Amino acid sequence: MQKQYGVFSLPVIVGALGFFVDVFDLLLFSIIRKPSLESLHLSPEDVLSKGELIISVQMIGLTLGGIIWGIMGDKKGRLSVLFGSIILYSLANIANGMVQTVPQYVLMRFLAGVGLAGELGASITLVSEMLPKEKRGLGATVITVVGVCGAIVAYFVYQYFADWRLCFYIGGGMGLVLLVLRANVMESGMYAEVKNAGITRGSLVMLFNKKERALRYLKGVLIGLPVWYAIGILVTFSDKFGREFGIEGVNPGQAIMYQYIGIGLGDLSAGLLSNFLKSRKKALYTFFCILSLFIILYFMQGVNGGTQEGMYLVCTGLGFGAGFSVLYITMSAEQFGTNLRASTAISIPNVVRGILPLIILLHRGLRTVTGNYITGGWLTGIVIMALAVWAAYHTKESFGKDMNFIEE
């Protein structure tokens, strides 16, 4: 019989610390985007356009990495992903501190994206399979709440050292130190049973060879899109939106820091609410409403006149509403059998991240058609929220579901 682990057991703690480093490294670029690109002697226009390019390439790396690490997680084991991914993104971030040109910057963020893709999904998969079903949502909550603090720490690390290159070295160094803790984590017993039974695992063909299973996967992706609309559009480019609203001096790094304070509180609240309601979907709908409210308040700043303080407060609210990320990531693990669980739980959050370039293109297209940056922004939000609500409505409840099953 597999050992029963608690909410604060070693697998959960190590997973939480791993996600902390993951978020630190992932959001670091958004925090130091302007000063790092300005130090490479780019014009203000190139800082915006190259910034969009680099974050898009990083997200493409996350998508590719999510597929690679997901397959490996099912074929070779959850721990193989946790070790391999952290080595890649740690070394890539250290190298990122040495870049001298935009092409070098693009390459390092791509490699870091590939590496970062494995961290969260593998940790959630491992913890979901090791904890009792009534506690796995709480375990995932601990991981995500501790993890999002990485963005807050990244902001203060940059504020303290004021050296974007050193920040990349620190992020990479933390990842390498975490490898020591990883050596003490055991593999999932549930996965070991499937592996020893010789069942087909980690097959992309199998994931999409049935319409129902392919739709299940697509809906898992669509549910998560509003999180990265809020992070990647509204908050990352809050300085540009601020100027359009008539608010000068908005610091996107500070906006991200405030948003991640909100996400931490939101993840905790969403996880506890889901456990209290005994339902992932009811908690999901609640946080869809909260996020929608703060999206409206965000754009209302262009009507009523806003302030820097108001922008940061709304960004905190956007983060709280985006706290349903803990729900859709947990659902990604609960919706699929053990032989495809890592493939889906690792790839779905990263496909969501990887769709950010398409969301950026959608915003760019809508702002071009309407001739207005702000109008393009809220129209993009309507499209993204509508897709997420449709997907959630057509997704089965998974709270308390027995996860010891396979896909055939």
Residue at token pair 């069942």: 199
- Is residue 2 a part of any domain in this protein? no
CA distance 330 to 345: 8
Residues 6+ apart with CB under 8 A from 322: 226, 227, 230, 231, 259, 262, 263, 266, 287, 291
Q: Give me the pLDDT at residue 1, please.
A: 45
- Is residue 398 a part of any domain in this protein? no
- Is residue 111 a part of any domain in this protein? yes
Judge contact between 266 and 321, C-beta under 8 A.
yes
- Is residue 3 a part of any domain in this protein? no
- Which domain range does residue 46 map to? 10-393
CA distance 132 to 134: 6
Judge contact between 345 and 125, C-beta under 8 A.
yes
Q: Give me the pLDDT at residue 4, please.
A: 67
Structurally, how many domains does the chain consist of?
1
Judge contact between 217 and 380, C-beta under 8 A.
no
Q: What number of other Cβ atoms are within 10 A of residue 319's Cβ? A: 31
**What tokens were used for 309?**
């303080």
Judge contact between 302 and 245, C-beta under 8 A.
yes
According to DSSP, residue 4 is labeled P
Judge contact between 343 and 202, C-beta under 8 A.
yes
- Is residue 407 a part of any domain in this protein? no
Q: Give the CATH number, domain containing residue 225.
A: 1.20.1250.20
Q: What is the pLDDT along the chain (408 residues), one digit of tens a residue?
A: 456 677 788 888 888 888 899 889 888 888 888 899 999 988 888 888 888 888 889 888 988 998 999 898 888 888 888 888 889 999 999 999 999 999 999 999 999 999 988 888 888 888 888 888 778 888 888 888 898 888 889 989 999 998 999 999 999 999 898 888 877 777 777 777 887 777 888 788 888 889 999 999 999 999 999 999 998 899 988 988 999 999 988 988 889 889 988 988 998 899 899 989 999 999 999 999 999 999 999 999 878 778 899 999 999 999 999 989 888 888 888 888 888 888 888 888 888 887 888 998 999 999 999 999 999 999 999 999 999 999 999 999 988 888 778 887
CA distance 73 to 79: 7
CA distance 320 to 269: 9
CA distance 69 to 119: 9
401: phi then psi, degrees, rounded to nearest 5: -70, 140
pTM (predicted TM-score): 0.82
Is residue 272 within a helix (H) or strand (E), and if so which, with residue range?
helix 252-277
CA distance 15 to 289: 29
- Is residue 95 a part of any domain in this protein? yes
Half-sphere exposure (CA, 13 Å, Cβ side) for 406? Answer: 17
For 326-366, the DSSP string reads HHHHHHHHHTS-TTTHHHHHHHHHHHHHHTHHHHHHHHHHH
- Is residue 399 a part of any domain in this protein? no
Instruction: Spell 230-258 as b/e; 16+ CB within 10 A means b.
Output: bbbbbbbbbbbbbebbebeebbbbbbbbb
Judge contact between 99 and 320, C-beta under 8 A.
no
- Is residue 404 a part of any domain in this protein? no
End-to-end CA distance of the chain: 25
Q: Determine the length of the chain.
A: 408
CA distance 73 to 343: 7
